[in-house]
Amino acid sequence: MSRQKPAVSILVVSDYGGRTAEDWYYLRDTLGALGRQTFDEEIEVILIDSTPADQRMPPDLLDLVPSLKVMTGAEKTRELLNKAVEAATADLVVLLDGDCAPAPGWLSAGVGAMRAHPEAAAVSGRTVYPDGGFSNRVLATLSRSYIDPGGPGVTRFISNNNAIIRREVLAKHPLKDFARPLAMRLQTEAIQLAGGVLYFEPRMRVTHRFEGWPMERRIRRHVGYRAIRVRQLNPRVSHSWMLRLGILSIPAVLTARTLDSWWDCMRAGRFYGLRWFELPAAFVTAGYVHLLEIGGMIDAFTEARGRGTQG
């Protein structure tokens, strides 16, 4: 076995496995696609396994990637992720969700982008949904293109399911004690406020599992909560001033978010398969999708009020 320091440590996050047998198919696809990557340098792969205690991961999964390491524990996924970053031995760390199958050349594209941009703290890739008609195309655009400038270039966010980040940056900004999506958004803001430059590389492409509208409805409540809570916790986040009216600010926030989504559809929809003549329907869908965030927004305001503070 080679003792050479790996060029990259890949952290595969499996925090959903075991609920149904189908969950393992997604993880199997991800690990299989990872094992087929063509990359001439040494890599390290760590599977962060949050399988419920009464479930067992199929043993064949461990054979899909050579020298796969598995990190398990009773801790939350966020805590395991922090531990995995500490255990990683490479200077570059990839965060890849276990239901995101990488395309051929994904790893080479990500590492190449980091080396081409030494000033970058992180490089995020493009996330698409399986080809399944208009719903898949438009919801992929609405949920994933906010990070996508269209081609390689600077972006404002770090993908929480498909990104490569310098280990020293992750060590300086560990995930805080919140649910993982919120913790990662706060981490992104902290990295940017510290002067970190964020890049996007479209060739670093993955296909995310997608279960249709039931999945979208679950996601959108969490997104609504996060959109409010991140600004309560960090008033330096853009547009935090909009929350001064408390729960009465929700219509203004929804309007701003809907307008942003319309622009995303026009600007980047073609990269997610959205056709120009589908834009009117996409605009209507965007309005409906953001209405699904209201419950999460109310939760965030209620939680803050219960603590006696907006932070």
The domains located in the chain, with CATH, are: 8-210 (3.90.550.10), 214-306 (no CATH)
Burial of 12 (0-12, 13-18, 19+ CB in 10 A): buried
- Residues 114 and 299: their CA atoms lie apart, in Å, by 38
End-to-end CA distance of the chain: 50
Across the range 5-25, mean pLDDT stands at 79
For residue 247, what pLDDT is reported?
Answer: 94
The dihedrals phi and psi of 298, each to the nearest 5 degrees, come to: -60, -40
Percent of the chain scored above 70 by pLDDT? 94
- Residues 169 and 86: their CA atoms lie apart, in Å, by 12
Using an 8 Å Cβ cutoff, are 37 and 121 in contact?
no
Query: 258: which residues sit within 8 A by CB, 6+ positions away?
Result: 286, 287, 290
Residue 52 in this model has a pLDDT that exceeds 90: no
Across the range 86-106, mean pLDDT stands at 96
Structure tokens at 184: 């990662």
Tokens 């997610």 locate to: 272
Using an 8 Å Cβ cutoff, are 15 and 99 in contact?
no
Local confidence band at 19 (pLDDT 50, 70, 90 cut-offs): low
Tokens 């599977």 locate to: 47
For residue 236, what pLDDT is reported?
Answer: 87
Local confidence band at 3 (pLDDT 50, 70, 90 cut-offs): low
Across the range 294-307, mean pLDDT stands at 88
Question: pTM here?
Answer: 0.91
For residue 1, what pLDDT is reported?
Answer: 43
Percent of the chain scored above 90 by pLDDT? 77
- Residues 106 and 80: their CA atoms lie apart, in Å, by 24
Across the range 201-206, mean pLDDT stands at 98
Tokens 């801790």 locate to: 75
Residue 84 in this model has a pLDDT that exceeds 80: yes
Residue 20 in this model has a pLDDT that exceeds 70: no
For residue 254, what pLDDT is reported?
Answer: 96
Q: What is the pLDDT of residues 161-188, one digit of tens each?
A: 999 999 999 999 999 989 889 999 999 9
Across the range 190-199, mean pLDDT stands at 96
Q: What mean pLDDT is reported for the chain?
A: 91
Across the range 291-306, mean pLDDT stands at 91
Residue 63 in this model has a pLDDT that exceeds 50: yes
Query: 162: which residues sit within 8 A by CB, 6+ positions away?
Result: 95, 96, 97, 100, 102, 124, 125, 126, 127, 204, 206
Local confidence band at 16 (pLDDT 50, 70, 90 cut-offs): low
Q: What is the pLDDT of residues 205-239, one digit of tens each?
A: 999 999 889 999 999 999 999 999 999 999 988 88
For residue 155, what pLDDT is reported?
Answer: 97
